[in-house]
Amino acid sequence: MATKAELISSVADKADADKKTTEAVLAAFFDHTAESVKSGEKVAWPGFGTFSMGERAPRTGRNPQTGEPLKIGKSRSLKLATSAPMKEWLLGSKKSR
């Protein structure tokens, strides 16, 4: 996993930009994405994917030490639905059948 410093350095090198500006731009992107998703909007980056809010229903789980059932409340999380071009790039082209 890349650290924050490694991510900033890599993006700055690829964009031919200084690290301070790159850090500010990445921070602004992540802030905007988090605020938009929290307010119920989706944030799409064509060719990469769409960020949205995911919700999990309440459910019954088990304590792994005792096996006792326990209630797990509903929760929300950030989801990324990967775009088709990104999936194809990550997984390689589909094999013909």
Per-10-residue mean pLDDT of the chain, 97 residues long, equals: 94 97 97 96 96 96 95 95 94 65
**What is the value of pTM for the model shown?**
0.74
Distance CA 56, CA 71 (A): 13
Domain that holds residue 51: 42-56+75-91
Closest CA relative to residue 37, chosen from 26, 52, 24? 52
**83 and 48: one domain?**
yes
Q: For residue 97, is it within any domain? A: no
Does residue 3 fall inside a structural domain? yes
CA dihedral 21→89→33→46, nearest 10 degrees, is 100
> Is residue 46 located within the same domain as residue 19?
no
| Number of domains into which the chain is organized | 2
Same domain, 19 and 47: no
Query: Is 67 inside a domain boundary?
Result: no
Same domain, 24 and 52: no
